[in-house]
Structure 1
Amino acid sequence: MDTEPHTHPRSNTARRSRIAILSRGDAAARHDATAQNSRFVRVFEALDASGIEAIPVVYDETFADLVRNQLLTMDGVLVWVDPIHQGKTRAALDPLLREVAAKGPMKRPWVSAHPDVILKMGVKDVLYRTRHLGWGADTHRYASVEAFRAEFPSRLCTVGPRVLKQNRGNGGQGVWKVEAVPGTDAAVRVLHALRGSRPEEMPLDAFMARCEPYFGWGGCIIDQTFQPRLPEGMIRCYVSGSKVAGFGHQLIKALIPPPPEGPDSPEAQPGPRIMHGPDAAQFQRLRRLMEDEWIPRMMETLTIDEASLPVIWDADFLYGPRDTDGADTYVLCEINASSCFAIPDEAPAAIARTVSERIGRNVESGG
């Protein structure tokens, strides 16, 4: 194991700090991985410009021991691995990352995002735990199959269309719009957020049975009221640490019934995500809310200190009802902390600044 002293990346002493950029792939991808052929090439470049050596590390369960040994030689790890990818989960990776964070070469090693932080803010349960913040909506949590079956039917019938979300997932997996079918006895119309899905009508009991496996993987199901302004698009607010690093706006098609041409038609595909820097005028109110109110209150609610916030994460917002002055409100629909990508052009530099600050803290504390 490397025993050289760890220094601030901008100092002129022994060596540059070494950061792993971890992503999922097979043995061939691991063998061929370079900074130049990585989709994170701009992040590699920004870290290098800040005096930090970044190393591409490819992970798979079949060679996890090799990855563990490699990570234990690093000063930090930036992780880009989805909760679910081609049927694989993070069930083996997360314990490995916890071990690395506990046994790394520095006195205060860090992994971003740390699995324990993801379990606080990068799961759908955050929507329930922070529902009292200004980004909250009518949100409920079902902690068991029994609670789900007892409470959901009456809520659906009395409140209107709902959106159910499994606790851990990505790409629309396990996210459903559910509405009662008028004039029927306990029938529902459901639409999966997974791309290419079509609306289905079925007995409510059958749909609830379909959702029961979600309790085994994520431990709960989150239930939010459907936001009728969904067709106006989703705003993705990118954050590095506690500071906004940019925005993306996209006309999404998830949970919107496909046109007659079908879910594979061009008309059914989401629009491009238009990226903006942190100073984009149309999003300054949202930026102020995030930096001045919502992020600090989220940290307090979830007991996360600033040094533990992910180096890069994003919060997805839908437009809520306009307020009495006609201004937009925003409803949080998800926080992504496991694998936040693609990112605005301004984000790599923000990542490098945050990484430098984290390394500097470790040096000052004697790491």
Structure 2
Amino acid sequence: MLDQPSDPKFKGALAQIYVRSQPYGGSDKSNNGHRYDSIPIVNGMISAGMSCQLTHYTHEEHDKFFELCRNFDFVIVRCNPGQIKADGGDQQKFDDGMCALRKMGKQVWPSPDVMEKMGAKDALCKVATMNIGLPDTLAYYSPEEFSAGFKKTMAFQPRVIKQNRGSSGEGIWIIKLKDENYCKEYGERSCEDGEKLVLTEANDKHEEEHTVAEFIEFCVHGRTHKSGEWTSKGVGKYLEGGKEAGGQLVDQRFRPRIVKGLRYNLIGDNIIGISLGISLSPDCSEFAELTENFRKDLPHVMPSLDLAHEPLPLWWTTDFINASAKAEDEKWDDTPNACWDDISEVNKAEAKKIGVLMGEQALSILQMVSVSQLYG
């Protein structure tokens, strides 16, 4: 880490969580117990003339932690989803603490609202009408919406149907028409109740055949005399309780998994790189049209997600095709003694570049907030 500035423009902290039951505090940690990206992020803030302290949240000292956070102008939250609970804490209590900081005028990146709404399963549905979206990406909250919408999308192309409350692939179905009689344009026709579907559930890859009517019945009412015989471990009823209780289905176009995916890496609204197995310039000609459309959409992303009051995240990615590497390839567990010094010089330079850009973006946001507060 760089030395902290003696007269910082703003003071901040990077909040982490050390899962005490897991080796090194979690698979996102290096052998010093900190996240592998902590050094470049903190140094990026320092390079921008701000101080940034490394902190760890422990649920036993919840009040003390947030009392400390009140002394900072900003908090960068780097606690992976699920890790607070895995360490014995309460995620909602932690989120409430961060929301309270926001109400005090502190910057929290990302805020709990941003984490929830940008990571929600229906986020793609809210950008469906943008240049980067697909119009046949829908979310259903009622049986009537589901029946009408699914019959229309299913007649067009193979689907992925996802329940909101599932885990480990349960309630996520890859669905194809058995007769493969898809229409050429979305909306040309809707499926009949009796058309046969071939369904594969993501949790165990088992395959079933049902009619359109039987699948809709299972999703809405579960196992009934109208839904036929199911071998799935799940019970259906994906819309039970309505939207307020998390009853929701997302319907999107199926795309086969490929080895090399397309990922855009951004600092705020600045596209800093494209990854396709190798790193590409954000101005590469191969994806010029997609990049141009994405840039046009960026000002509308947060408002579309009901986050108009929030800035784009400091550092975030967008995957246009779900083709991330296998999880085990991305963990540090296989080399438990790995640390910052084991990273190649090329990757260190890239990490430093990203950290510096994050610092510049953070400083810009804080300065704008300060001016806004000064003039009301």
TM-score w.r.t. length of structure 1: 0.65
Q: What secondary structure sits across from 1:285 in the alignment?
A: helix
Structure 2 residue aligned with 1:262: none
More moved, 75-84 vs 181-190: 181-190
Give the AA of the match of 2:291.
R
How many residues end up aligned between the 2 structures?
303
Structure 2 residue aligned with 1:289: 293
* CA shift in 2, pair 1:26/1:87, >3 Å: closer
* CA shift in 2, pair 1:133/1:69, >3 Å: same
Give the AA of the match of 1:312.
W
Does residue 356 (structure 1) correspond to residue 363 (structure 2)? The answer is yes
Give the AA of the match of 2:199.
R
Query: In the alignment, is the contact (CA less than 8 A) between 1:247 and 1:275 conserved in 2?
Result: yes
* CA shift in 2, pair 1:294/1:190, >3 Å: same
Query: In the alignment, is the contact (CA less than 8 A) between 1:156 and 1:179 conserved in 2?
Result: no
1:245-284 alignment to 2 at 5 Å?
245-249=272-276, 273-284=277-288
- Offset, 1:162: 0.8
Query: In the alignment, is the contact (CA less than 8 A) between 1:178 and 1:188 conserved in 2?
Result: yes
* CA shift in 2, pair 1:296/1:185, >3 Å: closer
- Offset, 1:140: 1.4
- Offset, 1:99: 1.0
Structure 2 residue aligned with 1:99: 100
* CA shift in 2, pair 1:347/1:13, >3 Å: closer
Give the AA of the match of 1:91.
Q
* CA shift in 2, pair 1:180/1:127, >3 Å: same
Structure 2 residue aligned with 1:64: 62
What is the rounded CA distance, in whole Å, between the counterparts of 1:64 and 1:168 in structure 2? 28
Does residue 17 (structure 1) correspond to residue 10 (structure 2)? The answer is yes
Does residue 117 (structure 1) correspond to residue 117 (structure 2)? The answer is no
- Offset, 1:76: 0.5
What is the rounded CA distance, in whole Å, between the counterparts of 1:44 and 1:177 in structure 2? 42
Structure 2 residue aligned with 1:321: none
Does residue 189 (structure 1) correspond to residue 199 (structure 2)? The answer is yes
What is the rounded CA distance, in whole Å, between the counterparts of 2:372 and 2:198 in structure 1? 57
Structure 1 unmatched ranges of 5 or more = 1-11, 250-272, 319-331, 335-340
What is the rounded CA distance, in whole Å, between the counterparts of 2:108 and 2:259 in structure 1? 36
- Offset, 1:307: 6.0
What is the rounded CA distance, in whole Å, between the counterparts of 2:65 and 2:13 in structure 1? 10
What is the rounded CA distance, in whole Å, between the counterparts of 2:177 and 2:368 in structure 1? 54
Does residue 227 (structure 1) correspond to residue 252 (structure 2)? The answer is no
Structure 1 residue aligned with 2:269: 242
What percent of counterpart residues are identical? 20
Query: In the alignment, is the contact (CA less than 8 A) between 2:13 and 2:76 conserved in 1?
Result: yes
1:138-177 alignment to 2 at 5 Å?
138-144=136-142, 146-147=143-144, 150-151=147-148, 154-155=151-152, 158-166=155-163, 175-177=172-174
**CA-to-aligned-CA distance 1:157-209 (integer Å, 9 cap, x gap):** 533421123558999787542335569986642242x7xx5344366435573
Query: In the alignment, is the contact (CA less than 8 A) between 1:307 and 1:358 conserved in 2?
Result: no
* CA shift in 2, pair 1:62/1:301, >3 Å: same
Query: In the alignment, is the contact (CA less than 8 A) between 1:124 and 1:168 conserved in 2?
Result: no
**CA-to-aligned-CA distance 1:218-270 (integer Å, 9 cap, x gap):** 55221112135x53742111222222122222xxxxxxxxxxxxxxxxxxxxx
Give the AA of the match of 2:249.
I
Give the AA of the match of 1:76.
F
What is the rounded CA distance, in whole Å, between the counterparts of 1:148 and 1:114 in structure 2? 31
Q: What secondary structure sits across from 2:100 in the alignment?
A: helix
Query: In the alignment, is the contact (CA less than 8 A) between 1:312 and 1:351 conserved in 2?
Result: yes
* CA shift in 2, pair 1:155/1:275, >3 Å: same
1:14-93 alignment to 2 at 5 Å?
14-26=7-19, 37-40=34-37, 41-59=39-57, 61-84=59-82, 90-93=91-94
Structure 2 residue aligned with 1:327: none
Does residue 128 (structure 1) correspond to residue 125 (structure 2)? The answer is yes
Q: What secondary structure sits across from 2:92 in the alignment?
A: coil
- Offset, 1:81: 3.3
Give the AA of the match of 1:49.
S
Structure 2 residue aligned with 1:255: none
Query: In the alignment, is the contact (CA less than 8 A) between 1:123 and 1:168 conserved in 2?
Result: no
Q: What secondary structure sits across from 1:141 in the alignment?
A: strand
What is the rounded CA distance, in whole Å, between the counterparts of 1:67 and 1:166 in structure 2? 36
Q: What secondary structure sits across from 2:77 in the alignment?
A: strand
Q: Choose 1 or 2 for highest CA Rg.
A: 2
Structure 2 unmatched ranges of 5 or more = 181-193, 219-229, 325-330, 333-346
- Offset, 1:277: 4.6
